[in-house]
Amino acid sequence: MQQPQHQPDLGFRLAVSPPVTQTRSFLTVALIELWERFGYYGMQALIVYFMVQRLGFDDTRATLVWGAAAALIYVAPAIGGWIGDKVLGTRRCMIIGAIILSLGYALMGIPVSGTWLTFVALGVIVVGNGLFKPNTANLVRKIYEGDDAKIDSAFTIYYMAVNVGSTVSMLATPAIKDHFNATSGGDLGWHMAFAFCSVGLWVGLLTVGVLRRTVNHIGSPPDELPLDWGKLALVLAGGVLTVIASTFILEYQWLARLFVYVAGLVVLGIFIHLIRTSQASERAGLVAALVLTLQTVFFFIFYQQMSTSLSLFALRNVNLDFSLFGNHLFTWSPAQFQALNAIWIMLLSPVLAWIYTRSSGSRLDLSIAAKFALGFAVVAAGFFTYGFAGAFAVNGLTSSWIMIAGYGLYSLGELLVSGLGLAMIARYVPARMGGFMMGAYFVAVGISQYLGGLVATMASVPEGMTDPLQTLPIYTSLFNKLGLAAIACTLIALAALPLMRRLTAAHHAHA
């Protein structure tokens, strides 16, 4: 439906939208996702350090607050996906969410050290991510709907785009922080780094503004109608209430636990209700999606260690110098080690996408369920690598190359599980439930992010302990336990393979 030129439209429609290829539409969506992740991961690289070093939190409070914030950030898309599908439009919500996210990072850029301001800013980020994340992923789903081979490859490349943005920001924000802290003689660097994240969002918005004609034909039914300002006002009012609620949840940990557990029960209940009331032709696909979503919950408990226990491990027990054959190459700050995850993702994503495309339809083509099982096995190897770090430590400091090896395995596992999580929803879930199920998937991720924060507290260093020889066994003990847990997850995923084969066959039979 052609948009009247006098009507306002936050989806950047043009009066005339010439036909464009799937690839160009996909690249436009991937570009704004790149810049959004630029902002998010630039903030994530510093947030736990900020709480410990700037706000004075102990390890346990910092990891639990960030775990609760990450949970809220990922739970919010459950509502945002529905708003995109039914209320404002998928494309519009992507744009509105990016604007709100830029405001959240800008608030963190205000050079005030108050705890409440930080929590309010995180609340604004929760709202922005809730609108942005599920609707951006759903646009990719709509572009390649019905083509399973292309969906797997597209979401893998999409995942790579995410990590292009995050690599740059996770290397840049710690350097910006260090530079301004050194030159200003204070703590201004923290806030300059967060403001830098906000600028990234505006670059992404301008990019989509220039390329808007490539996505004008992609969206949900509300995108085809003039913007309803009344509905927009209600959504924004709900956003304000969400910011207030998020602020209190972050301050009071008992409230955070209650929220996460209730959210988990509600989503599981809705999942079961949809399965029971769905058409026979849809049921097998929904059950398959539920099984894989539950496996994803376990994976993201491991994933959350990157910004919590692994982050603090790099601060206290990793030699920050990179040397090769006795020659010094360069030195990183502890926060920059998180960029290794994104760097490995970028290196491995094209290889996996090529393998998926070449093996499609052949005997070498692994099911998503089999890829999940393989992913857990690789994650186990990654955590055992960290667990063995003590064998390579000198005076309590392990080699920076251990971090590279561990992150390489960890990242391959992430691609096999998390990288295909969205593709799993796109493949098994009926189109009419797409937005909601994308949201439900992110709720599962959010729950596991909080549980991951709880797990990370097992490696909380007692206040006042600064000797690397004392802190090293605290971290390696946790990493070895996580390796064993990942092996258990591998065995569970393998045991579920026969069930997944039957569900997939039934789903394809009714497709």
Same domain, 329 and 228: no
Looking at residue 373, its pLDDT comes to 85
Same domain, 121 and 208: yes
- Kindly report which listed range (93-107, 164-178, 406-420, 452-466) carries the lowest average pLDDT score: 406-420
Domain contains 28: yes
Domain contains 136: yes
Instruction: Point out the domain boundary residue: 235, 251, 267.
Output: 251
Same domain, 101 and 169: yes
Instruction: Point out the domain boundary residue: 251, 280, 300.
Output: 251
Domain contains 313: yes
Looking at residue 2, its pLDDT comes to 42
What is the domain-level CATH number for residue 57?
1.20.1250.20
Residue 460 pLDDT > 80, yes or no? yes
- Where does the pLDDT of residue 389 fall: very low under 50, low under 70, confident under 90, or very high at 90 and above? confident
pLDDT in tens, 233-284: 999 999 999 999 999 999 998 898 888 888 888 877 877 777 777 777 777 7
Number of independent structural domains in the chain: 2
Domain contains 6: no
pLDDT in tens, 407-443: 999 889 888 876 566 666 666 777 666 656 766 777 7
Same domain, 264 and 409: yes
Same domain, 378 and 457: yes
Same domain, 220 and 285: no
Instruction: Point out the domain boundary residue: 251, 276, 307.
Output: 251
3-state secondary structure of 278: coil
Same domain, 173 and 305: no
Dist. CA 302–CA 299, nearest whole Å: 5
Higher pLDDT among residues 202 and 435, named by residue: 202
**Residue range of the domain that includes 470:** 254-510
Domain contains 15: no
Write down the residue that tokens 């006002």 correspond to: 233
Looking at residue 14, its pLDDT comes to 43
Same domain, 165 and 280: no
Looking at residue 261, its pLDDT comes to 83
Looking at residue 15, its pLDDT comes to 44
Same domain, 297 and 185: no
Percent helix, strand and coil across the chain, each to the nearest 5: 80, 5, 15
pLDDT in tens, 322-354: 888 778 788 888 999 999 988 888 888 788 878
Same domain, 153 and 259: no
Q: Which residues are CB-contacts of 310 (< 8 A; sequence separation ≥ 6)?
A: 337, 338, 386
Question: Looking at 204-344, which runs of residues are DSSP E strands?
Answer: 321-324, 327-331
Task: Report how far apart, in Å, the C-alpha atoms of 396 and of each of 147, 246, 405, 461, 479 are.
Answer: 51, 39, 19, 14, 16
pLDDT > 70 in the chain, percent:
87
Same domain, 239 and 286: no
Same domain, 301 and 424: yes
Domain contains 118: yes
Domain contains 477: yes
